[in-house]
Chain A
Amino acid sequence: MSGGGADWNGTEMGLEEKLPSGFMLSTVEGAAGYARKNSMWTVTFGLACCAIEMMATGAGRYDLARFGMEVFRPSPRQADLMIVAGRVSQKMAPVVRQVYDQMPNPKWVISMGACSSSGGMFNNYAIVQGVDHVIPVDIYLPGCPPRPEQLMDAILKLHAEVQEEKLGSNRVKQIAEEEKEALVAVPTIDQRGLLR
């Protein structure tokens, strides 16, 4: 993927004009986000049919290497991203959690396909009704299974979020704000319609 200023979260402060050409300014957050999103390594977590599409996405036709993501790590300790691809059975749930816990921070999760996002059509006792019951999910990806373009779309949306991520005290502030919002949000038991 072509790099360049356009992708940077550069805050224009009027300093750019005064610098010799070839220099670029950004915040530390912008630089960190840029670095993080462009070398995101994925932990192997194919659970069902979605995994086939995920493999296809990594292969030549779709070529995840364009986003610096060709490495699917069997070791969670070298991974940043977990793509949960397929239905999570109750028995698999602790495994998912353990692998997630072994990943170093910062880490992200894409829930790929209907089953891992909500249980999909397997609304039964054997399947976890959404992997977000077990681990926090950053991007939900509908589809059964989603085609590689959809997975790439999800990855790019995640990249955009990673780019925006805050650091240090800003991060602490952001977390506090999100916590506050979550506390006043409608609890699931009070939600109506399909959200229930």
Chain B
Amino acid sequence: MIAKEHWRDNMSDPNKIGKEVIELNERLYREGATDGLPVVPPTDELVAEMLRGTDLPGDHVLGHLGNREDPLTVERLAANGVMAGCRPIHMPVLVAGGKALVDPASNSMSFSVSTTGWAYLWMINGPIRDDIDIQSKSGAFGPGFRANRTIGRALGLAYRNTTRIYPGEKDMATLGNPFKYSLLAGENEEQSPWEPYHVSEEDYDAEESTITLAGPSCYISWTPYRNEPEYILEGMIDHMDPYMTGSGGHKTVWQLLCPYSAEQLGNAGLSKQNVKEFVRDNSYVDASKYARGKYQDREVERNDPRDIPSRQLPQISDTESLKVLTVGGAGTVNATVGPSIGGPVTKRIELPENWDDLVEEYTVTPDWIKSSQFFE
């Protein structure tokens, strides 16, 4: 509980400030600049403060987005970061995420407006996770951790506000997607039996920090019957519903394994590639569903369905289309996320010269849990 004295000492008139913040929020909501949740007003001073988190000038154009190829500037990114609740130490991740959004390989233009309502999946690798407290262990996908919650929201708002897409107008997601701005986590590299994603998949050094963007539609959590290799592998396959197909390295399925399950696979001598190959070789969908065109396989669809034998077709065409990462904390719960039609694209997170000072100045160490003091 924050003491009333704290407010009296640090705010001239909390009631007045609160009222002004509400009024500014209503204005920003009316103008379509928010996601419906309250935002921090992007004042000149707060945006200038955010820009301390990058060596790039505010008018630097990261790239272009939308029908009119509107520029995504560093300043606009910072303003949306302020609104989402980010602090200057989050700015390097926002800049790298912005570069991912403007990369045509991300396919963000399609999946941001689609009726399917794809989410933005952001995975963070490297030492930046510790610097700015990006959670990769228990509760990594939230709620609870500021960086995890605000960075994805900021990048979603930046896309929306640069391209001016609104639900039912150009963002035509039929049902919407509760994960749209919420899927951001660090990889739990420390408890993984394998090389982290940015090293094994993207050829970065382990000491580099990266952000990876994909565009999945579904998040399915599951627990293996027993936390043993065969059941974990079986669970990965069983929880790829027939819609989750992967092909060509661009339509991907993401298997996010908790450390306990990943450890079991590692102890069994299975490499990440071994796991991918097993899933590729043992996941199938009914060919008759291809014949109905459900999976948009036009070559098959154009044939007479009666000519299609009743057989199975591979669900994952190649190991490039399956991603395996270690995420989360204690327990045996995993998640299958996909299919993704976004990217995946990975960008290096560049730090400003004053990084160490910024981290010291802006780090907030959570001090939430008091009960364990009983056992000290």
A and B part of one assembly:
no
Q: Please list the residues of chain A having a beta carbon within 8 angstroms of any beta carbon in chain B.
A: none
Q: Please list the residues of chain B having a beta carbon within 8 angstroms of any beta carbon in chain A.
A: none
